[in-house]
Amino acid sequence: MKIDFGVITDYIPYLLGGILVTLEIALAAALLGSLLALVFSLLSRKKGIVQKLIKVFIDFFRGTPLLFQLAFFHYGIPQITGILPTAYISALIVFSINSSAYLAEILRAGIESIDKGQIEAAHALGVKSWDISFNIIIPQALRNVLPAIMNEFITLVKETSVVSLISLTDLMRRQQIVSAATYRFFEPLLFVGIVYYIMNIILSNIGKALERKLKYD
């Protein structure tokens, strides 16, 4: 069978519409995940039961496949609760929590890289813990781990492809629909692959620009 991109020409606008769904999920999950990760990374600095619970939480979400987490939340839990969330809500919750587990470790490493002398000096001057966290620790930690955070966001964009499992019409789900309509797989898959590649190249360049800006500020 010959390669013929003409068969998917009429479906290109439909396929490209999946970009908005993909980016919307990734951006929303990244924002919510970042907030959760920030809370986890700050709380994990305090030893005790809270630190242990956070470690178990992070290890679970880092140690199980994202596909399992999404299927379990969308199909498994509703069997017990009787509450079936929409595909979008399921994707948003699962991706936010999963992202927070990875971002928490990234932020923790960034926090630990800060010279403890600065924190001790701030305490000696009577600066409140809240001010130390948000005016000394977090700004420096973010500057140190920005490349890792951007890499995590790029990974998140690619991982959104699994939402096709719960029939959310992202890029991959739309590719499946077009393939079913045209009985062609190579052309839609290649087109979607190129779209993912271009998106991630753009995001990578944005990350590098932000890194340069922070470096010279």
Q: What is the rounded distance in angstroms from the CA atom of residue 193 to the CA atom of residue 171?
A: 9
pLDDT at 217: 59
The fold adopted by the segment(s) 5-216 is MetI-like fold (1.10.3720)
Q: Are 11 and 181 in contact (CB under 8 A)?
A: yes
Tell me: the pLDDT tens digits for 75-87? 999 999 988 899 9
Q: What is the DSSP string of 60-95?
A: HHHHS-HHHHHHIIIIIHHHHH-----HHHHHHHHH
- Sign, CA torsion 180/184/187/189: positive
pLDDT at 1: 67
Residue 215's pLDDT band (boundaries 50, 70, 90)? low
Length of the chain as a residue count: 217
Mean pLDDT value across the chain: 87
Q: Are 187 and 5 in contact (CB under 8 A)?
A: yes
Q: What is the rounded distance in angstroms from the CA atom of residue 27 to the CA atom of residue 156?
A: 9
Q: Where are the domains of the chain?
A: 5-216
Tell me: the pLDDT tens digits for 95-149? 999 999 999 888 887 877 777 777 777 777 777 777 777 777 777 777 778 888 8
Tell me: the pLDDT tens digits for 191-214? 999 999 999 999 989 888 877 776
Residue labelled with tokens 């987490």: 69
Q: Does the structure show a pLDDT above 70 at 74?
A: yes
